[in-house]
Structure 1
């Protein structure tokens, strides 16, 4: 959500920032609606004052026995009351329109976010690991002999339809091991507090984390009105909604491993093979709630947490900063980490780490009390994948594939796999 005062003070700068995203100017529309709302509020206050003044005179006219004046004033009070009620209703409607308009305007990009139109204009800032070379044609994850029987799309389609998968046996265990490894590392080494959150949330939680109203079509809503979370960013971030935190309690660092649900309404025809783009998937999420002065450094810290996960797993990756035309709706600045997938001969996104500034905090009224006094200020919120479990499984399987169809697994997973380090051709761990 945007600060209407900031738009009033510098509408040209607001439009210029939106233009960097490729959006059309909106400040004139916003300010016209804001002016109409303020004018209606002012008129209602004036009418209210006139009503109050007339009300005081009614008693005096009656006491004097001036029936004509008494009736005139009583009628005036009644008329003013109706006028006030009507204008307050109009002001409330205009306020709702303004709030809805502001809620649909994306966040303004940070000054250092590179300008650009789409993903082709993203800027690489880091690269790690040597892309593996094979003396055979690298396969995609679902084609690997040791994986194919345990990654069951046919049964999943029978029960749920397209873009679902049923993992079985050792592959399911490796998937679980990856999630456990991520959570343990974030909790034991990265200082995040583990949460187990609901996956069903109310409108307010989706709205407060900028998923509504704009992206309702990309999410699933139940028949009784709850929403299935697209990521635990929603539940973790909204946990501070309406709160006034002590400055000393910041930053608040959280993590959760949850199911996530996305309808992928805007991705028809993309990544239809394999489990790269699913309606239901699992993710280990990182969320930080910080003092505004700490948020940029916190984003760098979160980025390193996610990158380190891939380094420990031995998965080559590159990190890019997204250009203004490719950033998400609520982000000021986003770094994407892209893991190398030999089967596709390409880097594919496995984590996004974003700072939203106070964009989400304004929507959900999350503030902190400055240690040196003064009025509460909005916190900054950040979120990042640490990591997407299914995509990490894909990367581990494809990068570890062997000529005989087996998969060499990362050593860091051995404690979670009973000491086993190989997915054998027959689909068992050895």
Structure 2
């Protein structure tokens, strides 16, 4: 992979370092970004940055583990509404596609999350856990037939998508189209677009999202007529505040589950293969007693790679945290990628150590009401897939550098050559 083009470091008043509001910062090599996070963690208070384009609304960067964890667990102060991504979702997009649960707070969020959680019944989850092993075996069977190449286009990279579709009850005939639309809808999340792509790419992403939601709405109509033993059937019969879930509510949840649930786990799996290839001693330890070390390996992969880099919050009430008093209306970034490298919490944070204990990483949202609903399933998927690959694919390893996406939102892998 060619090294990213070096860009000038922009100085910011009061921080004397790189500018997190400048898209050029997110095109720097990851090692340089992590070094800047380490410098920011040495400051007495969160640094403030002002974007040069867009809304030009200043924001504060929370980079310390304690601060990110505390903010994650105080939604009454650090609110998710109007949106957790940068830039925030437009009002018209929410009206058209529905508001995602991650952008909600208080009773609205709690009610929808409770309803969705009830759809994931113990019986359905138990069946899903049993199914995960079968999916992993089937995908590795396919990989043995197709041979090495680009891991992101290989059968194992479909693991989280197949598991979610099985759990939800998405018929096989719909999956290829939905998978393509998931990729198109998420391709440029957190990525600066240039030239004609500023106009063309957003339109393609929105069209893909709309088509995906229309397809899911069609499946939902089928389940209303003939319910089955799956999550879609449970959700279309669910009740929120005395009313059934609307098509937009269902569509927004499906989009969240398919885009967020698929992308984060798929990227974590890819980063895990990179890390195990680069640290043969850790791989040997994992292979020596997989059942003993698998949980630690998954947690360390998530901590080290941090699939979601940051979420945005809006201050709802005056509050002092990390040496600064925040005022209502101010914007804050919760930088999980920095918190997971905080040396005050993790010994030798740059090291990859599957025996690290304790490992209080914030890879699933830092706790609180927005803690990832699918964290448990994601861990099971990673363990099942790595068990199959390490035991059945002799010498499976990367054969080149990963092609990373320069995103300010997620630690996305576009391509990854591998062999076995």
Task: Please identify which structure carries the higher strand content.
Answer: 1
- TM, length-normalised to structure 1: 0.23
- TM, length-normalised to structure 2: 0.24
Q: Which has the higher contact order (CA 8 A, sep 6+)?
A: 2
Task: Please identify which structure carries the higher helix content.
Answer: 2
Q: Look at both structures and tell me which one has the larger radius of gyration over its CA atoms.
A: 1
